[in-house]
Structure 1
Amino acid sequence: MTRAREEICAQDVFVYHAAEINIVLNSMNYGQPNMVNEVLPYTDLDLVSYSCYESCIGPALGGDTEALRRAVLFIKRMMPDSAAFGSDNVYLGEYGIPGNDFTLAQVETVMTNTVTIGLEENSPYIIYWQLYDNELKDPDTPLPVTSNNDVRGFWLVKPDGTKSWHYDYLKAVIEQ
């Protein structure tokens, strides 16, 4: 990536090299070998994406609200600084909570906790999983899906075209 950038000398265009990791908590808490502690320290990446379901859903179930923060800080310790982002090169590349599987209060808890921690820890990107839900409850459901009840609820826009609470929350955060 570095050589390509040097050879191309593009202006007003930024291309970043990233990898995605998940299942970080076992490595953080128990030293279990994983990409985060066995590979990431030896990379020369611009960014690392954390698919953080393991640490963001817990608060909805009354669990640890700081697991996500500890995971992000652990990843930052494992990830070499990058020229483009310095030490703030860990982003939340995939998170979400299915609105049909959890209560609205649980959805609100996960969304606000995840975004708040991402912002407080200077994540350059916080990416919600799915604009439209593609996770059918029953794989034999005929397409196109138009009923909100046919999917799990990983959505910003529901099958019936209405916007979800997730959408309204993220829109409000962006507009701040």
Structure 2
Amino acid sequence: MMKKSMKYIAFMSALFLLSCSSEINEKELDGFNYVIGTQTVGAKYKFTDETNLVETAKAIRGMGSNLLKFSLSPRYYWENYDIPYDENIKCLKDLAQEKSVKEVLDMDFKYYQIWSYEFSQYTQEPEGQKKDEYQIKFIDGLSDEYAEKSYKEIYDLASYLLKTYSGTGKVFFLGNWEGDWHLRWDYNRKKPANPKTIEGMIRWINTRQKAIDDAKRDTPHNDIQLYHYLELNLSDLAVRGEVCVTNSVLPYTNTDYVSFSSYSATNPPSTEEEMDSVLTKHLDYIESKIPAKETIKGKRLFIGEYGWNEAAYLQEVIDERAKWVMKTALKWGCPFVLFWEMYNNELTEDGSNRGFWLIDKYNKKTPLYYTHQNFYKESRTWVKEYYEKNGKMPSHDEFVEAAVGFNSLN
């Protein structure tokens, strides 16, 4: 009788474990990297009393995305977001604790990509003017003084994030906006880049990377990841072998990841086949310039920006072209593919919106908004069914192989 009871207990235990293994943990489902996403910087309108940072973050989460890309910089109160100016905010760590910023950092996003520009490198622009050379100090070279200030500010921000969000499972990426416009801060792509500025940018990138590495070494933390990335953009110059961030800066850095603001590869193609060919060529070329890093597995190059405005294409055409980009980037292996952006940030000379948006100025959702939303629904369903069948989460490659065939992308 005892033997039968023991066998029964063992049988029921096995059944219990089997049933548990077939039910996916919601946190795992919410935290899976679904690759496709968007971002919010400098929205020119809003529909609530919340700051546009909080409002757009909620809109992105409501669409189904678990990734938020936004900006931390001294321009927080006038150019990037409508966060009230606070004279006590003197560095990135201070800004990360500001009410609206803390609210979005505390939200249930898994992934954060953050343009991080040091207050210590910033010179206030003339009122109403955005001059990118005012937020960097490596033009003609980066001095010891500014390198030390950059290191400390990034180190302090990284330490704060590691301490504050330890145990949450969040993944942070700190990086920069389009680096090729830092090399050519006058926006003259035909003008040769200054060798001293190239040296200065290399030092700046490596200084920031070291600050993050040292903060991770020095700060006790668990179940949180923090990385640094370098963003580049003029890939057409790169594939022609000309001086640019890809050829002249990237190979001499130790950056964790590389972000590709991909307009030079994704705007010219007029067919899906051409998009696949051109974008793949540019991704392959950029990847060939990334120094090896054994501590990080998988692809380290992602698309930080792509997109078109409503003045250039009908929204139905933008939706179609975006699907081309998504499928090519997924097949290639990009860990992230981010559309520019949730709310429009650019105005024409007459003050009208250019139409870089997933939700327009009338609070109307575009076809591409619904493509994103449906993709997340399909993705979650597929991941859940995979787990129920296999008792484990799918790999990135397994997910991508399935995702390129989802109805939402075809």
TM-score (norm 2): 0.38
Task: Give the alignment of 1:24-39 within 5 angstroms.
Answer: 24-28=235-239, 30-39=240-249
Partner of 1:98: 309
1:100 CA displacement: 3.1
How many Å separate the matches in 2 of 1:100 and 1:43?
38
In the alignment, the residues of structure 2 paired with residue 87 and residue 37 of structure 1 have an alpha-carbon distance, to the nearest angstrom, of: 22
Percent identity of equivalent pairs: 24
- In structure 2, list runs of 5 or more residues that go unmatched: 1-211, 379-410
Aligned length: 166
Which of 1 and 2 has greater Rg? 2
1:99–1:153 contact (8 Å) kept in structure 2 = yes
Q: What CA distance in whole angstroms lies between the structure 2 residues aligned with 1:131 and 1:85?
A: 30
Residue among 15, 18, 22 paired with 2:233: 22
Which residue does 1:157 correspond to in 2? 359
- Structure with bigger helix share is 2
The answer (yes or no) to whether the contact 1:46–1:83 under 8 Å persists in 2 is no
Distance 1:98 1:63 in 2: 22
Deviations 1:12-68 (A, max 9, x none): 22111001101112221x210111012111211111110001111122489932211
Aligned-pair Cα RMSD in Å? 2.1
| 1:53 equivalent in structure 2 | 263
Q: Which amino acid aligns with 2:261?
A: S
Equivalent residue in structure 2 for 1:167, among 354, 369, 386: 369
Q: TM-score, normalised by structure 1?
A: 0.84
C-alpha distance in 1 between matches for 2:262 and 2:232: 9
Q: Deviation at 1:136?
A: 1.7
Distance of aligned partners of 1:71 and 1:118 in 2 relative to their CA distance in 1, 3 Å threshold: same
Moved more, 60-69 or 96-105: 60-69
Instruction: Report the counterpart of residue 9 of structure 2 in structure 1.
Output: none
SS in 1 for 2:225: coil
Contact 1:95 / 1:128 at 8 angstroms: preserved in 2?
A: yes
2:335 to 112, 116, 124: 124
C-alpha displacement of 1:164: 0.7
Question: Aligned partners of 1:6 and 1:171: how far apart in 2?
Answer: 38
SS in 2 for 1:16: strand
Q: Select which of 253, 261, 267 maps to 1:43.
A: 253
For the residue of structure 2 that corresponds to 1:59, the secondary structure is coil
> How far is the alpha carbon of 1:9 from its aligned partner?
3.6
Mapped to 2, the partners of 1:68 and 1:34 lie a distance apart of 18
Aligned to 1:17, what secondary structure does the other structure show?
strand
